Amino acid sequence: MSNIFDGICGLNKFSGNDFPGTVSTVLFYSLCNLRCPYCQNPDIVFGKTPQIDPELLADFLKRRKNVLDGVVITGGEPTIHKKLPELVEYIKKFGYKVKLDTNGLNPVALRNCDIDYLALDIKTTPKKYRQFLGASGNETQIRENLLKTASLIRKTKGELRITVAPKIIEKDDFEEIAEICEGMDIFLQKFRTKFEVLDIDFFKNQNHDDSFLKEFKAYLEKTAKSVKIRDYGENSRTSEKIL
């Protein structure tokens, strides 16, 4: 039992906006293979948050199976954890739907995961993954991994998400990002620094205004299936983690 939950360091017991159309709970995996400056979970990324007692997690999932419809697995980055397929299988035994959030750099880890909804975060161009986000591998490998993960969404259900942040995404990046996102459902969101982020100094008080967001949206709409701007509000996180 304990091995299944290895790496789970956060729990949001109730969420109405993390899994489209589904009342869910959210599990947070520790550690990540990227260092996105706008990340709102720096302690999780660096593995500073202690794991939750696996027995407590197992008991919670059993007790809430007739109240909640789904479980969101996020992080950190779930796909760097070897027990992910076993965790998904365990969760599905209770009748939950499963949504997975991923940066898409490890598509091999998703082969044996029975996911109902896959959310892929496209950060920027492959070159900038290495330049700004600390990704390993060369640009070709990064692009191929993102495209492989995106192809999995076409086989199930899901979405692409893009956080629009200065330096990380500029007008010169539009074309290359659009190529990766071709034919997909895309949600854009502005980056926010109201909460603690991994590297606030990276931005030096820079921000893209709404006109930039709309211009990016219009560009992506040329080849995407759909593009929407998602706004959770300045005072709310996508999901508040309860540790």
Q: How far apart are CA 11 and CA 54, in angstroms?
A: 12
Contact 87, 5 (CB under 8 A): yes
Determine the pLDDT at residue 195: 75
Q: What amino acid is encoded at 113 in this protein? A: C
**What's the mean pLDDT when you consider all of the chain?**
92
Q: How far apart are CA 98 and CA 50, in angstroms?
A: 24
Q: What is the tens place of the pLDDT at every residue in 161-209? A: 999 999 999 999 999 999 999 999 999 998 877 778 899 899 887 888 8
Contact 40, 197 (CB under 8 A): yes
Determine the pLDDT at residue 240: 44
Residue 236 has pLDDT above 70, yes or no: no
Determine the pLDDT at residue 191: 84
Determine the pLDDT at residue 204: 82
Q: How far apart are CA 191 and CA 28, in angstroms?
A: 20
Give the DSSP per-residue string, 72-111: EEESS-GGG-TTHHHHHHHHHTTT-EEEEEE-SS-GGGGT
Binned at pLDDT 50, 70 and 90, residue 237 comes out as low
**Distances, alpha carbon 209 to alpha carbons 23, 178, 191, 202, in Å:** 32, 20, 11, 17
Average pLDDT over residues 82-98: 97
Q: What is the tens place of the pLDDT at every residue in 127-170? A: 999 999 999 999 999 999 999 999 999 888 999 999 999 999 99
Determine the pLDDT at residue 200: 87
Q: Could you tell me which residue, 180 or 232, shows the higher pLDDT?
A: 180
**Distances, alpha carbon 94 to alpha carbons 61, 66, 76, in Å:** 8, 9, 24
Average pLDDT over residues 21-41: 96
Residue 38 tokens read as 């706008």
Predicted TM-score (pTM) of this structure: 0.93
Residue ranges in 113-173 assigned as alpha helix (H): 126-133, 139-155
Binned at pLDDT 50, 70 and 90, residue 72 comes out as very high
Question: CB count, 10 Å around CB of 226?
Answer: 11
Query: Which domains, from first to last, does the chain contain?
Result: 8-229 (3.20.20.70)
Percent of the chain with pLDDT over 70: 93
Average pLDDT over residues 217-235: 86
**Distances, alpha carbon 90 to alpha carbons 13, 110, 160, 178, 179, in Å:** 18, 15, 26, 36, 36
Binned at pLDDT 50, 70 and 90, residue 232 comes out as low
Q: At what angle do helices 126-133 and 139-155 cross, to 10 degrees?
A: 110
Q: Is the dihedral of CA 187, 30, 105, 151 positive or negative?
A: negative
Average pLDDT over residues 59-82: 97
Average pLDDT over residues 63-88: 97
Average pLDDT over residues 204-229: 93
Q: Could you tell me which residue, 238 or 229, shows the higher pLDDT?
A: 229
